[in-house]
Amino acid sequence: MKINLKKWQIALLLITLVFAFFLVYKPHLNYPYPFHVDEWHHVSEGMRLGNYGEYFQFLRIIEDARFNGIEIGFHFLLFLLSFFFDLVLIYKFLPAIWICVSVATLFYVVYKKSDHNFMLAWFSTLFFISIKSNVNVLGLWFFTPLTFAIPFIFLYVYYFSEAIEKQNKKFIIIGSAIMALVIPIHALSVLFFIPALLIYLRINARYVAKEWKFFSLFLLVPILGVLFYKYTLAIPWPQLLGHMWTHLQFKFGWGVLEVKNSLVEIYSWIGYILAVVGVLFIILDRNTKKYALFLLWPATTFLLIIIYRLTGVSYLSPYQRNLYYFAISLPILSALGLFGILEMVKTQLEDLKFGSSLIPDDAKKLIYGGVIFLVMILAFISYYNIPKQLELYQAIDNNDYEALSFLAKLPEGGTVVALPLLSSAIYPISGHEPLASVAFYGDSTKRQQLYDFFVTADCQDLNTRISYGIQNYNIKYILTKIPINCDWPLIYQKNNFIYKVQ
């Protein structure tokens, strides 16, 4: 694991980590709370683990449990953090901290894979940092199981690649162990890679056949995955295969927001061009064996994207996730392309004359650095440009936080009626249950009931709805931004209004 770097290299790497931290943290400069409903959801489930029974009871009543119980590893991490920090208030730092972990891991992987080529590893980190985020595809701006799994993906890809190339059994064990670790955190981050890995093993069939007894141990990873899936979601054995087959096909409409994403939404056009150049350099330099797995990764995920575009069905993981897995596979290829071009430029400059003299070394360095600077400008220039329908949104503001903090002090628990987006933050801040939120909690009927409630002006109709809610949903409180004059006891009035209903 030890890496020997020169002082200037360490300084450059540290500057890169600081740059990555602030680039990701910038959207939170004026907003101290989680952005995405997924983040609020994971905070909720991490806190629910304080009552283990409540966590799994919650899984049984939510609308879609496919990615909740099977992400318990991530929720357990948040549960541990909740012992030391207020999860809601520290969550804004977690994406920025984790991109630093991911950048350091990618640097290590590329540095080792390229036989200690610092510049190639550094270029890879810059292209990785340039990957964009939005509320549909998610990404590095959000702390979710997807982003948490990224450094582990880099590691198991590296170890499997090295294991086959160098016929190192220890690396196979390490790669398999990392995969097994990722399963309870974000199983999709293992599933999406299965096609690439199977093709890679087929290409190296001679070595696999020679060591078939040893490779049979790898079967423990999918077996553990299936058992984890079955017991976490309590699926009977006779229904297991059918359930898995159905839930590993993600049809159009799976996400809350379905849009026809452009590839440049998540990665720069210069990054794509250099990735293609990188592939060409790999082929021309006859390094396909060394980088085979790093070529199969983007090839298989891109194939899954094409299948979805043609059929409306995404296999193994949702289309939005496959799009992101494709993006994070490209930085090393883009880095190879840039490094190869710079090597060509360097060779040309060696013999290039300015008048009757060779170009001075300082001028060569200036040209070399200028090319790098230009490429990075092109890679980052549109980093914060997000399609309007995919821009960041705020589930709550400071006034909502104060109102929910007031609710947290009330001893009598119960269900809270509030608009669906704000409802995403009800449990994490107040400990009370929301009737429904934008996603994850409550079905479409409850969600529609909320919208109907807040557009109804007739008190008789509202009282009828509340009476029904008290009897069926244990409704205790109503949180609204505008007053409702229906003679309910008003217990909070400070930019928001909270009513207690009997």
DSSP assignment string, 297-360: HHHHHHHHHHHHHHHSEEESS-HHHHHHHHHHTSHHHHHHHHHHHHHHHHHHHHH-EETTEEPP
pLDDT of residue 253: 64
DSSP code of 476? E
- Per the CB < 8 A criterion, the answer to whether 186 and 149 are in contact is yes
Within 10 angstroms of residue 295's Cβ, the number of other Cβ atoms is: 19
Structure token pair of residue 5: 């770097």
Structure token pair of residue 175: 């790669």
pLDDT of residue 325: 94
Q: For residue 282, with 0-12 CB atoms within 10 Å meaning exposed, 13-18 middle and 19 or more buried, which class applies?
A: buried
**What is the rounded average pLDDT of the residues 417-430?**
91
pLDDT of residue 389: 82
- Per the CB < 8 A criterion, the answer to whether 144 and 37 are in contact is no
CA torsion, ordered 415, 420, 422, 423, to nearest 10 deg = 30
Within 10 angstroms of residue 303's Cβ, the number of other Cβ atoms is: 15
**What is the rounded average pLDDT of the residues 105-109?**
96
Q: What's the longest Cα–Cα distance across the chain?
A: 95
pLDDT of residue 51: 66
CA distances to 28, 226, 296, 383 from 141, in Å: 9, 31, 27, 12
Encode pLDDT of 9-48 as tens digits.
Answer: 999 999 999 999 999 999 999 999 999 999 999 999 888 8
Q: Confidence class of residue 60 from pLDDT cuts 50, 70 and 90?
A: very low
Q: Which residues are paired to 353 by β-bridges? A: 358
pLDDT at 357 over 70: no
Determine the Cα–Cα distance for residues 268 and 270; give it in Å rounded to an integer: 5
Q: What are phi and psi of 98, to 5 degrees?
A: -75, -30
Within 10 angstroms of residue 117's Cβ, the number of other Cβ atoms is: 17
**What is the rounded average pLDDT of the residues 117-146?**
94
pLDDT at 360 over 70: no
Tracing tokens 């980190």 back to the chain, one arrives at 125
Rounded to the nearest integer, the mean pLDDT of the chain is 85
pLDDT at 56 over 60: no
- Per the CB < 8 A criterion, the answer to whether 157 and 182 are in contact is no
pLDDT at 61 over 60: no
Residues 6+ positions from 152 with CB-CB distance below 8 Å? 178, 181, 182, 185, 189
pLDDT at 67 over 50: no
Encode pLDDT of 475-494 as tens digits.
Answer: 899 999 988 888 888 999 98
Helix (H, G, I), strand (E, B) or coil at 497: strand
Q: Which residues are paired to 497 by β-bridges? A: 480, 493
pLDDT of residue 191: 87
Q: Confidence class of residue 235 from pLDDT cuts 50, 70 and 90?
A: confident
Which range (38-42, 421-425, 447-451) has the least confidence? 447-451
Which range (159-163, 247-251, 312-316, 447-451) has the least confidence? 247-251
pLDDT at 234 over 70: no
Runs of H (alpha helix) within 62-117:
72-81, 87-90, 94-113
DSSP code of 4? -
- Per the CB < 8 A criterion, the answer to whether 37 and 424 are in contact is yes
Residues 6+ positions from 122 with CB-CB distance below 8 Å? 9, 12, 13, 16, 107
pLDDT of residue 64: 42
Residues 6+ positions from 313 with CB-CB distance below 8 Å? 249, 250, 251, 252, 307
Q: Confidence class of residue 52 from pLDDT cuts 50, 70 and 90?
A: low
The residue type found at 312 is G
Q: Confidence class of residue 331 from pLDDT cuts 50, 70 and 90?
A: very high
**What is the rounded average pLDDT of the residues 79-85?**
90
**Most confident option among 13-27, 43-57, 244-258:** 13-27
pLDDT of residue 107: 96
- Per the CB < 8 A criterion, the answer to whether 499 and 408 are in contact is no
